[in-house]
Structure formats: C-alpha cells, structure tokens
Structure 1
C-alpha cells in the first residue's frame, strides 16, 4: 500500500514538485506510513496469550485460580 502511494506521489510530482496536488500526494504517503507504524506498535504491546484466552477461555493456559 505504501509503495503504491509513493509511486502515485512520484507520478503526480513529475511536472511540478511545488504543486498542491504534489503536497497532498506526499501527505497521503506520510499518513499511511504513520498509520502502519501505529498499528505495528499496537501489535507489539499486545500479549499473544491474552488474545488467545479471549478466544479460548476454557483452555488450561487461560485458567485463573483463586488461592
């Protein structure tokens, strides 16, 4: 997706790199890149066991014992 937007921005900016269309195209590239980075950070923070236990609470790995 990012590569596609970079290619589009490059094509839009071939004639005039200072045009409004060029600026908008590169803004879109930046927004998509930031969204991807935010998503990656979110995935890194999540505990895989927590996600698993939400889907399979009955498994031994997800049992919670009261002491």
Structure 2
C-alpha cells in the first residue's frame, strides 16, 4: 500500500467510506486519518501569489 502524503490524498478514502454510509468519524478511525487533516486548507504566503500567477501564465503559453 502506498503512503498517503497530501491532505487531498487522505480525504479521498474517507469521502468514499462516507458515501457508502459510514460516519465521517468511523471512516477516519478505520483509515487512521486525523480529523484536522480533513479540514486543512493550504495557505500560500501573500508574497508568493505574484510568482505563482506569473508561472501559471508562462505554463499556459
């Protein structure tokens, strides 16, 4: 089994189990995922926003 690294990768199995009828708490317990990782939202520093936009525009060319 691959090691799940990113919060997005940790959310997917929990979401699938919840769709099958399990509670979120039970699904997290079975998979071994902390609740804080499900609500985690990555925040980029404000000074990186300009650089990221430039990189996006260059990659779109």
| TM-score bucket (shorter structure) | 0.3 to 0.5
* Bigger Rg over Cα: 1
**Structure 1 length normalisation: TM-score?**
0.32
**Structure 2 length normalisation: TM-score?**
0.34
